[in-house]
Structure 1
């Protein structure tokens, strides 16, 4: 019989070997060093505002900015524009309302020397939502006009065929959501081989929404060596990979971390009974001034908006389930003051840029601190003050406390009831009139047969035009007409 020592060197069965593997798996792993993002490495960039005339922009642009009442650049603009005009890649972070659109948009316009050929844009801006695409386009159009350049948007929810006509006329700066642009690329109605400069705005939101695989596919079609601008609140996960893969030694400007935007706001946690919550929301909605109420689902947005209008509050619902013309109309009514309360899902957390929103209400506490910060960022824009209120029930208190800590937010906590003094003091709540407001006209859900021929191709995500796959992937832009280039009814391209 072998001695016990023999078993220490030559195992006679698989059991000791399995035991050794088990012990190896249980060994504590060596801690891996945490990789610092480029934002963390550079810290906060200290840049003072500066006159646009001192940044190296063409005189025509400086004059156009002055005519719009813009003579002094915000810090993010003063930091990024000179570097961009030298041809450097620029990686930037700035809080909401800090002026990022002009920080990348003005260099895109200023550095373009040749007009775009039909279907071959010279500059590309990728954004996560339709609303943000419209905001960027509207901001750049007046500046482009003085240079004889064309800025147009390509987003889901609008006519594919009209977008084809626009692209065939030639677009110098194309602002697009990833899904709809991928549709055009697949149909051959947009070619990215002549794009010289590309900007990615709100890259972290595109990552959160699952668009980065699509973004990478599009960037792979853009010529290498072109200039890149990327603006993002964070560089975690896939956004950092975008920087590594597509940017060449970028100059980094980090004006503020996402949590910095909370400094210009008053944050309140209102403890409320579930049975009294609707009455409290109606009284808040009846206040003077613009109010945005954030909810989690499109059904909740529609339901709350309907209830508010029933008691006299001019409210509108904004979410990804609405057609683009309905979303545009609702935003226009909110901007004009015809609607004073906007009930929105996260589609508006970064997509709408409206001044004078003095109050943001989280109807339900968001679970993600990033959602809280970006929703809150709809108020206190460009240095203005604002108030953020979160309605919290007893069972939500602990979760909200954890989320607020992660977001770097300190809140004032109050127990409130309808028309409680603290509620009135903080929000300006008052009793609604009780006179029902007319409901918005319902959108038609069915199309006439003649209209059906002009439907756009299926784009998956209703909010951002994410293209479908499989059998619909190769269908033409006109639904039944195939590739738009082969449609004899197309009028010839015109500038």
Structure 2
């Protein structure tokens, strides 16, 4: 097996990785590192959980550490663009400890939080900025950051940024980076709007596709549970009360909030994640899920892309998604980095045709079982003794009014161009009118994505 040293990483970075228990590269890292370290533009495609973050983080760190230039106030040396605040935070958490070993400073920039600390860090000087497009564009317009010293630009989850309508902002940002700087693009798919970015900004890129964008993970088992609508909640309670972390996806923000409250009322420690939450609540809830304080996370598609939490053993589609790509991205929150996992889709009579079409396009052949509460299969899908909190707490929510900052505090005050799964959305709650017809969660209906065509509005937990 090829080692990081053989791929060309400096010893200090190899040692820092080993200290974190990372000793062998994943296939996409092994395929791309020789080109990225040599300064080539690279398109990297691999399914979610395939190791794309290290795939671009390592060459960024190695090249900056070896470069002759040093950081200057307001002029970072590397830029990593991500579609959501949570993903930006996780990327920075991956890079920061490695960068510290190399003497490199990192920071995140996104909306929904005060701009002042971000401005302070930019003025102090940072090497690597991990940013969402909207707030970064604000800082560019105010003159707090200039991109003329960027040596490497990374677009992570580029297809998701295109889906969310970020392409115009991304193009304006990319136009401000040096034309001959290195560009890396990592994504689960390289189609649609991503081609626009590739043709405009990348020079003779090397493309690496570790596996098909549609290929399901072999260590992931898929089940469809055919049930009556009134049985949806008791089945969910049974599955989520089992040991281990469970991620439950709903169609809308309202359904995520409602289901979370019903699970908590049933004694299942659960938290919610969706675009109607303020950034502080989103961060707290994700931390509660990551730490195990809450073993169930109920989320809209905001958590379907890029969010990584170790040891998610079960993913449940409480509402089947419309598109097969969404199914694969949601399901990819389990069986990551070689681990195994189980994916369960709940299906009622009027969703049969849609779910059959969905799984066919996703390239999977699930096991379909007609069940009700207490069915023995539930214990097989989520083994272990069911435990319930005798005095459940209320879910963490944040309904306080958002502050509006001069550099893009709340989208609702600025007419926010992007809605719903609140990528970064500069505040997370605005854009109800304009964005819902174009992308994201249909905010007027409290929604996420476009929703399931079958059984809409007839759920037993909404």
User: Structure 2 length normalisation: TM-score?
Assistant: 0.87
Q: Which runs of 4+ in 1 moved over 6 A?
A: 451-455
Of 3, 7, 11, which residue of structure 2 is paired with 1:59?
A: 11
Of 228, 238, 262, which residue of structure 2 is paired with 1:283?
A: 238
Partner of 1:433: 388
Partner of 2:199: 244
Q: How much has 1:63 moved relative to structure 2?
A: 1.3
2: CA distance, partners of 1:301 / 1:360: 14
Instruction: Select the structure of larger CA radius of gyration.
Output: 1
Contact 2:74 2:145 in 1 (8 A): yes
Are the structure 2 counterparts of residues 467 and 216 from structure 1 closer, same or farther at C-alpha, using a change threshold of 3 Å?
farther
Are the structure 2 counterparts of residues 327 and 283 from structure 1 closer, same or farther at C-alpha, using a change threshold of 3 Å?
same
Q: How much has 1:338 moved relative to structure 2?
A: 1.0
Partner of 2:47: 95
2: CA distance, partners of 1:364 / 1:390: 7
The C-alpha deviation readout for 1:160-198, integer Å capped at 9, x for no partner, is 111111111111111001111111112211111111110
Q: How many residues align?
A: 417
Partner of 2:171: 216
2: CA distance, partners of 1:420 / 1:467: 45
Of 38, 54, 79, which residue of structure 1 is paired with 2:31?
A: 79
The C-alpha deviation readout for 1:124-148, integer Å capped at 9, x for no partner, is 0001111111111010111111111
Partner of 1:118: 73
The C-alpha deviation readout for 1:318-351, integer Å capped at 9, x for no partner, is 1122122211111111111110110011111113
Partner of 2:423: 464
Query: What does 1:321-470 align with in structure 2 at a 5 Å threshold?
Result: 321-428=276-383, 433=388, 435-443=390-398, 445-446=400-401, 456-459=408-411, 460=416, 461=418, 463-466=422-425
User: Structure 1 length normalisation: TM-score?
Assistant: 0.81
2: CA distance, partners of 1:403 / 1:441: 33
Determine whether 1:133 maps to 2:85.
Answer: no
Query: What does 1:64-213 align with in structure 2 at a 5 Å threshold?
Result: 64-112=16-64, 113=67, 114-213=69-168
Q: How much has 1:255 moved relative to structure 2?
A: 0.3
2: CA distance, partners of 1:166 / 1:154: 10
Are the structure 2 counterparts of residues 422 and 465 from structure 1 closer, same or farther at C-alpha, using a change threshold of 3 Å?
closer
2: CA distance, partners of 1:131 / 1:196: 25
Root mean square deviation of aligned Cα: 1.9
Q: How much has 1:384 moved relative to structure 2?
A: 1.1
Are the structure 2 counterparts of residues 228 and 456 from structure 1 closer, same or farther at C-alpha, using a change threshold of 3 Å?
closer
Are the structure 2 counterparts of residues 67 and 306 from structure 1 closer, same or farther at C-alpha, using a change threshold of 3 Å?
same
Of 202, 217, 221, which residue of structure 2 is paired with 1:266?
A: 221
Contact 1:353 1:378 in 2 (8 A): yes
2: CA distance, partners of 1:289 / 1:465: 29
2: CA distance, partners of 1:61 / 1:251: 24
Q: How much has 1:467 moved relative to structure 2?
A: 6.0
Q: How much has 1:105 moved relative to structure 2?
A: 0.9
1: CA distance, partners of 2:338 / 2:404: 47
Q: How much has 1:454 moved relative to structure 2?
A: 8.0
2: CA distance, partners of 1:195 / 1:410: 46
Determine whether 1:313 maps to 2:268.
Answer: yes
Contact 1:126 1:199 in 2 (8 A): yes
Contact 2:114 2:409 in 1 (8 A): no
Contact 1:311 1:435 in 2 (8 A): no
Are the structure 2 counterparts of residues 215 and 456 from structure 1 closer, same or farther at C-alpha, using a change threshold of 3 Å?
closer
Contact 2:107 2:130 in 1 (8 A): yes
1: CA distance, partners of 2:285 / 2:341: 22
Partner of 1:227: 182
Q: How much has 1:443 moved relative to structure 2?
A: 2.6
Partner of 1:471: none
1: CA distance, partners of 2:94 / 2:389: 39
Give 3-state SS (helix, strand or coil) of 1:391's partner: strand
Are the structure 2 counterparts of residues 258 and 304 from structure 1 closer, same or farther at C-alpha, using a change threshold of 3 Å?
same
Contact 1:258 1:373 in 2 (8 A): no
1: CA distance, partners of 2:216 / 2:116: 40
